[in-house]
Amino acid sequence: MHHRTLFTAVAAFGLIVAATAVAITDRGGESAPGEPGSPSPARPDNPLGWGGPADAPPEPGEPDEPTGAPRCAADRPAAEATSQFDGGTLSASLSHEMIDAGRDSERYAVIDIKTEPTDTDARPPLNVALLIDRSGSMNGDPIRQARRAARGVVERLGPEDRVSITTYDTRGDAVLAPTAVTPEAQANIADAIDDITPRGMTNIHEGLSIAYDQLREAQRDGALSRVIHLSDGQANQGVTSTPKMVALAQQASTEGIRTTSVGLGLQYNETLMEALADAGSGGYYFVGDPSDLDPVFAGELRDLEATVATQATLTIAPRCPGVRVKDVIGVPTERDGDALVAQLADIAGGEARRFVVELEVTGPESVGAQNLIAGRLDHEHPGSGTASSTEVELAATVTDDEDATRASVSEEAMAEVLTVKEAHALHEAALAYRGGRYDEASGHVEDQAAALDRAVQHYGLSDDLAGGAGARMRDFGDRMDGATPGSPEAEADALGSAEEARSLQRTRR
């Protein structure tokens, strides 16, 4: 899942996706959008006081021990590991080289996926579906800029590519069936775009259904398919249930169709658009000014052209009983037995993604080297469909020397963890404010800023590495305290802060 915001001028494709695993709810591997979690009491092994599975028993039916045949004893410690795959590298490292014997603790593993730049001249063919909100609120500059951005996409496509156009107002409408972008077809495609005019209400569900059907019709072996969805409003016609619309995107994703969401202005439903992008394994943008639509559409197309891996997943599994993979923030995950699986969808050439995984570890009584987790990247080649799998394993030293354990921490890894945890908390607070829950947002800011302060002290991070942890939270709180609740200025600030925070969660270098 790939997400981005023009408000902060940070693109999600082609940058590092920093996804920190931290349990914000008691639903391992799941976080409900827009629901700030409550901090747990601080403990020596949980200095941030973040709520989650550390404070709750396993869910009914969830296995107590890893499935399969885990190998606990390692031949030697392996706090770092690297494995090559075609066109890239999978590497991993632990936040601590050691764990305490017979003691519960939390640990982190940093997993990096890096790919080599690719030649876009040799790219696979593309199937692009433009889905454009044409409801009455798009009148004026928004619809003019949307038409301009759509024409820009078509100009970048070639005869081997296909484009379709779907619009929605009170009803959905297939404006242009999947069409090869030949020189002869360019004029007809441009006319179809120019004929899009605002009217009516907002039936997002019907528009999505038609756009996905258009791409199913256009799918070919070796081609990449993507819906680019632009909306400035709220669904108010037809099926308006967010879960039902998200289910459409999720089903399309399993068929190799990605969904990118572009929210325009201040009135669109950011929860829905974000959820569609997550479920659809695509990008997510917030665009405050219609004139910025063209570079967003152009950037999305460039990333699509540079795709080097499709159907990518990252599976993080424990290698020993007593090790629990807790959660991944910023990337939707599913539990598969004792493992967490993140759907990464497509990976572009020259891209670097980082995942910081939080682990709950019960140290064995005996000292020595112990396997902790394995990270496995599965993907397909975009042209041939050939499947590939690459794995790395990490092992720590179990010791009864607590001083040695504390000294084995990687300050760089912990600084990365704090940055992403702060970004997640800021995202939650900003969405609460946007939802009119002003007291909840204020309390969340105060609680999480204090938790970050405790963590900096606990891990002994320098000012340079801590990076002013908590500063963004406090700055947001101060701005909201001085704003008029519900004013356009405050709404724009909250929305911009939410998207900046979301980007920080997923785009750390």
Instruction: Looking at 5-105, list the stretches that DSSP marks H as alpha helix, in order from N- to C-terminal side.
Output: none
Higher pLDDT, 124 or 357: 357
Q: What is the pLDDT of residue 452?
A: 87
Q: Which domain holds residue 238?
A: 120-305
Tell me which of 60-74, 102-116, 462-476 is least confident: 60-74
* Radius of gyration, alpha carbons of the chain: 23
Q: What is the pLDDT of residue 96?
A: 92
Q: What is the pLDDT of residue 487?
A: 79
- Rounded distance, CA 440 to CA 400, Å? 43
Q: What is the pLDDT of residue 459?
A: 82
Q: What is the pLDDT of residue 32?
A: 38
Q: Report whether pLDDT(387) > 60.
A: yes
Does residue 75 lie within any of the structural domains? no
**Distant-in-sequence, close-in-space partners of 450: CB < 8 Å, separation ≥ 6:** 470
- Rounded distance, CA 50 to CA 15, Å? 27
Number of structural domains found in the chain:
1
In sequence order, the β-bridge partners of residue 105 are: 361
In sequence order, the β-bridge partners of residue 393 are: 374
Higher pLDDT, 104 or 427: 104
User: What average pLDDT does range 212-237 have in this prediction?
Assistant: 91
Higher pLDDT, 141 or 244: 244
In sequence order, the β-bridge partners of residue 162 are: 127, 180
Residue recorded with tokens 């949980």: 46
Does residue 350 lie within any of the structural domains? no
Q: What is the pLDDT of residue 330?
A: 67
Q: Report whether pLDDT(16) > 70.
A: no
DSSP strands (E only) in 1-103: 18-20, 80-85, 88-94, 98-100
Q: Report whether pLDDT(294) > 90.
A: no
Task: State in Å, rounded, how far the first CA of the chain is from the last one.
Answer: 17
> The domain that contains 198 carries what CATH number?
3.40.50.410
Q: Summarize pLDDT for 315-352 with one digit per residue, the tens.
A: 999 999 889 999 887 677 899 999 999 988 788 888 88
Q: Summarize pLDDT for 77-129 with one digit per residue, the tens.
A: 898 999 999 889 999 989 999 999 989 999 999 899 999 887 766 778 999 99
Q: What is the pLDDT of residue 33?
A: 39
Q: Report whether pLDDT(24) > 50.
A: no
Residue recorded with tokens 């256009």: 218
Does residue 84 lie within any of the structural domains? no
- Rounded distance, CA 427 to CA 501, Å? 5
Identify the three-state secondary structure at position 104.
Answer: strand
* Residue 12's pLDDT band (cuts 50, 70, 90): very low
Q: What is the pLDDT of residue 100?
A: 92
Does residue 134 lie within any of the structural domains? yes
Q: What is the pLDDT of residue 260?
A: 92
Does residue 191 lie within any of the structural domains? yes
**How much is the mean pLDDT over the chain?**
81
Task: Give yes or no for a contact between 266 and 492, defined as CB atoms under 8 angstroms apart.
Answer: yes
Does residue 234 lie within any of the structural domains? yes
Does residue 184 lie within any of the structural domains? yes
Q: Report whether pLDDT(508) > 80.
A: no
Identify the three-state secondary structure at position 339.
Answer: strand
User: What average pLDDT does range 447-460 have in this prediction?
Assistant: 86
Does residue 487 lie within any of the structural domains? no
Q: Report whether pLDDT(353) > 60.
A: yes
Q: Summarize pLDDT for 238-286 with one digit per residue, the tens.
A: 999 999 999 999 999 989 899 999 988 877 888 899 899 988 988 888 8
- Rounded distance, CA 229 to CA 487, Å? 27
Among 227, 192, 193, residue whose Cα is nearest residue 210: 227
